[in-house]
């Protein structure tokens, strides 16, 4: 908030002792309210010009004192400007506190990071998933390792953070840790949240990320093609553990459920819709957004196959889903058995539903958005990878439309239409002329 008046004065304060050496004081006045403090510097009253508020003479000691006073005045004005730009109220006491160092927080990065993560953990699973807490703990571990590697310390004060720190941290993640660009940016984003939290708590006033620019690499995550999905569904697998994982994966391909949602899928989540058919009516654990998926015959057959499975009966779930890590490990074996070259993982199934099963079969994208539980169509567009077959089909239809167009007929049609418009205008002109004569 901009003050009405502001004044900054340096002066020598009289002491009770009869001495020419006196302390240089600083007085700050805001809106008529003065506050003062000592600069901890002494100066001879005979060598002081109160009109200039500076030491007199050309000796080195006078130059040093004047440089100190100029620097202090500049720092106060800079702090005052930053308060104004951030919308804070400017008072004389606040500026004096700044001079005395009372506004400089000693809060440390790792302490604030730990406090943040403990708060996240306390809200699992009501507001955050366990995975979110693990991700922030991993990011905290990387920052701690970096502090040890770069500075040889276990913690650092927030006021010591700057642009160079952020850039060095990014380089450390990519080089020393060997982390990919996009994953490194995720950890940096987690760390940035802690810094922004410190700014909101007024621990620091300057954002070290202000000039930091990052760019994610575009990675095309391809779904299974129609042919690959057919291979996966119909390949005979005699090993029970692999057959079960294959069935869970295929179920995801025909429902679009994320791993955690298919893991937690209960019998009570499957209900009859208004059309009399069975639907999955549930909320995504990751975002809390609801999704509604009609069950296709392929998914219904898998549900029927496992309804009496001991794990399903014990847990009350629809399918006997194992841990995500084990499932992804088994999917690599399954890919080899089925002759599928691309890497299989639980998220590829969700992409296969969003692209190969729905969008490539002309299901409107806004409908796919609702089934996937996305919060915007933009998220769904990332799944819209069209197969070569679909592209070929569209091009053939375009070719047919182009070949059916006959320029001669089109030109004759256009000329006939133009002539009709001319005749109508002539008729209208004739009617107007007759009306004017009458």
Using pLDDT thresholds of 50, 70 and 90, give the confidence band for residue 424: low
Using pLDDT thresholds of 50, 70 and 90, give the confidence band for residue 369: confident
CA-CA-CA-CA torsion for 37, 41, 47, 48, nearest 10 degrees?
Answer: -20
Give domain limits for the chain: 6-100, 109-201, 226-388
pLDDT digits (tens, 9 = 90+) for 85-100: 877 778 888 898 888 8
Give the pLDDT score at 51.
94
**What whole-number distance in Å separates Cα of residue 317 and Cα of residue 261?**
11
Starting at the earlier edge strand, list the strands of the sheet with 270-272: 270-272, 278-283, 290-294
Contact 43, 55 (CB under 8 A): yes
The class (CATH top level) of 226-388 is: mainly alpha
What angle do helix axes 181-200 and 130-150 make, rounded to 10 degrees?
Answer: 90
* CA angle (67 as vertex; 65, 69 as ends), nearest 5: 70
- State mean pLDDT over 225-242: 94
The architecture (CATH level 2) of 109-201 comes to Orthogonal Bundle (1.10)
> Would the CA dihedral through 310, 315, 319, 320 be positive or negative?
negative
Residue with more model confidence, 296 or 221:
296
Give the pLDDT score at 438.
43
| Mean pLDDT over the full length of the chain | 86
Using pLDDT thresholds of 50, 70 and 90, give the confidence band for residue 435: very low
**What whole-number distance in Å separates Cα of residue 120 and Cα of residue 56?**
60
Give the pLDDT score at 274.
85
Give the pLDDT score at 365.
87
pLDDT digits (tens, 9 = 90+) for 261-278: 999 999 999 999 888 899
Q: Is 327 exposed, middle or buried (0-12, 13-18, 19+ CB in 10 A)?
A: buried
Among the ranges given (65-69, 80-84, 281-285), the one the predictor scored with the smallest mean pLDDT: 281-285
DSSP string over 249-261: HHHHHTT---HHH
Contact 333, 242 (CB under 8 A): yes
* CA angle (284 as vertex; 304, 355 as ends), nearest 5: 75
């Amino acid at each position: 908030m901009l003050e009405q008046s502001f004044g900054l004065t340096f002066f020598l304060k009289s002491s009770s002792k009869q001495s020419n050496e006196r302390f240089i004081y600083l007085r700050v006045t805001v809106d008529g309210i003065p506050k003062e403090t000592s600069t901890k510097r002494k100066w001879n009253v005979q060598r002081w010009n109160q009109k200039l508020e500076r030491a007199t003479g050309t000796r080195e000691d006078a130059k040093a004192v004047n440089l100190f006073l100029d620097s202090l005045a500049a720092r106060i004005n800079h702090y005052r400007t930053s308060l104004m730009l951030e919308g804070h109220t400017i008072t004389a006491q606040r500026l004096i506190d700044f001079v005395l160092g009372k506004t400089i927080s000693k809060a440390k990065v790792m302490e604030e990071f730990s406090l943040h993560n403990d708060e996240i953990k306390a809200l699992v699973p009501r507001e955050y998933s366990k995975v979110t807490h693990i991700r922030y703990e991993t990011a905290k571990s990387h920052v701690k390792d970096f502090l040890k590697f770069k500075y040889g310390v276990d913690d650092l004060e927030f006021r010591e953070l700057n642009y160079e720190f952020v850039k060095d941290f990014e380089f450390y993640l990519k080089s020393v840790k060997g982390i990919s660009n996009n994953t490194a940016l995720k950890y940096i984003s987690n760390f940035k949240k802690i810094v922004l939290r410190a700014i909101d708590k007024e621990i620091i006033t300057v954002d070290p990320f202000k000039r930091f620019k990052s760019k994610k690499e575009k990675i095309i995550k391809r779904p299974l093609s129609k042919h690959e999905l057919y291979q996966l569904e119909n390949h005979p697998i005699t090993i029970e553990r692999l057959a079960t994982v294959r069935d869970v994966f295929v179920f995801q391909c025909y429902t679009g459920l994320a791993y955690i949602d298919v893991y937690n899928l209960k019998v009570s989540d499957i209900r009859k819709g208004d059309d009399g058919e069975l639907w999955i009516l549930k909320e995504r654990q990751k975002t809390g957004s609801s999704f509604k998926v009609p069950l296709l015959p392929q998914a219904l057959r898998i549900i029927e196959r496992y309804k009496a499975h001991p794990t399903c009966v014990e847990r009350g779930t629809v399918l006997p889903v194992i841990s995500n890590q084990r499932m992804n490990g088994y999917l690599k074996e399954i890919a080899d058995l089925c002759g599928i070259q691309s890497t299989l993982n639980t998220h590829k199934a969700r992409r296969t539903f969003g692209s190969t099963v729905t969008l490539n079969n002309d299901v409107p994208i806004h409908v796919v958005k609702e089934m996937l539980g996305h919060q915007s169509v933009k998220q769904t567009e990332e799944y819209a990878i069209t197969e070569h077959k679909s592209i070929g089909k569209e091009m053939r239809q375009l070719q047919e439309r182009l070949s059916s167009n006959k320029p001669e007929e089109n030109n004759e049609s256009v000329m006939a239409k133009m002539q009709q418009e001319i005749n109508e205008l002539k008729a209208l002109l004739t009617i107007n002329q007759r009306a004017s004569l009458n």
